[in-house]
């Protein structure tokens, strides 16, 4: 009985880590080794995974759902820094640096996480240069997204920032076909935080996109009905 229970646990952990970007092309032995140090954690929509000031004791990998990473501006307003999708890692920077969390992570949807203790994660990286390189590349990609977000903030008007932010969000869902409507589980306030605009300005921009037929505004979510139309830059200048 004990052997059977242990076998079920291993299979469940392997299911959790299957598809993680960090573990692509690794050997079966490395997969089993990683599974052995992984805990499966479930979070409901709205649950906090960590807050600023928390100790950075764990690294997280997202199996299902989406997570938003936020910070606070000097005046105390929430700033949406990134949206984490399935397969991605988060919480690794503070863990590697052994510093308290400087951001917050919250479940945008019901989520399944693979949690690894900081020390176990560091040991894996120390013995696997390929994995270390993937972590660096993943962190670089996140910085690139944040840089693009900052560039939009200082150089483009609110309607353009809203449209381009929505395009980035649907592009992040790689499995979605171009012609299929995409549901984005963000509130209008979330979008405002993402593009650095007021709630009122963001609502006007979203209403314009809804009037054009590109999106449909729903309770606590936005449905991009025609992704190809949303990519049309003319939407911000007219219909």
**Do residues 22 and 133 both lie within one domain?**
yes
Poorest-pLDDT segment among 16-30, 105-119, 197-211:
16-30
**Do residues 133 and 166 both lie within one domain?**
no
- The whole-angstrom separation of Cα 82 and Cα 68 is 6
**Do residues 97 and 117 both lie within one domain?**
yes
pLDDT band, very low/low/confident/very high, at 239 (cuts 50, 70, 90)? very low
Q: Provide the residue count of the chain.
A: 239
CB 11 within 8 A of CB 3: no
Domain boundary among 118, 146, 174: 146
H helices of 37-186, in order, are 92-97, 118-126, 129-155, 158-171
**Do residues 165 and 89 both lie within one domain?**
no
DSSP letter assigned to residue 225? S
Residue 24, domain member (yes or no): yes
Residue 127, domain member (yes or no): yes
- The reported pTM is 0.77
pLDDT band, very low/low/confident/very high, at 2 (cuts 50, 70, 90)? very low
**Do residues 32 and 119 both lie within one domain?**
yes
The mean pLDDT value for 77-106 works out to 87
With a cut of 90, say whether residue 171 has pLDDT above it.
no
Poorest-pLDDT segment among 17-21, 123-127, 214-218:
17-21
Secondary structure of 17-58 in the HEC alphabet? HCCCHHHCCCCHHHHHHHHHCEEEEEECCCCEEECCCCCCCE
The mean pLDDT value for 187-202 works out to 89
pLDDT band, very low/low/confident/very high, at 178 (cuts 50, 70, 90)? low
**Do residues 10 and 61 both lie within one domain?**
yes
Beta-bridge partners for 115: 39, 60
Containing structural domain, residue 171: 156-236
Residue 201, domain member (yes or no): yes
Check residue 236 and give its pLDDT.
Answer: 59
Domain boundary among 146, 165, 196: 146
């Amino acid at each position: 009985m004990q052997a059977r229970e242990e076998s079920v646990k291993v299979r469940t952990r392997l299911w959790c880590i299957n598809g993680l970007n960090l573990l692509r092309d690794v050997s079966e032995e490395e997969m089993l080794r990683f599974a052995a140090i992984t805990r499966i954690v479930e979070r409901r929509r709205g649950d906090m995974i960590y807050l600023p000031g928390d100790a950075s004791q764990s690294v997280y990998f997202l199996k299902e759902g989406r997570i938003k990473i936020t910070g606070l501006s000097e005046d105390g307003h929430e700033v949406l820094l990134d949206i984490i999708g399935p397969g991605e890692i988060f919480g690794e920077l503070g863990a590697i640096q052994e510093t308290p969390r400087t951001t917050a992570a919250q479940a945008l949807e019901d989520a399944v996480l693979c949690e690894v203790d900081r020390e176990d994660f560091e040991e894996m990286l120390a013995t696997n240069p390929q994995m270390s390189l993937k972590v660096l590349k993943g962190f670089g990609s996140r910085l690139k997204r944040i840089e693009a977000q900052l560039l939009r903030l200082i150089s483009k008007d609110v309607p353009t920032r809203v449209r381009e932010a929505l395009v980035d969000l649907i592009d992040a869902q790689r499995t979605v076909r171009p012609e299929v409507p995409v549901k984005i589980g963000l509130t209008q306030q979330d979008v405002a935080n993402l593009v650095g605009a007021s709630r009122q300005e963001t609502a006007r921009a979203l209403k314009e996109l809804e009037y054009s037929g590109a999106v449909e505004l729903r309770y606590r979510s936005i449905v991009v009905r025609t992704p190809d139309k949303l990519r049309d830059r003319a939407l911000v200048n007219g219909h």
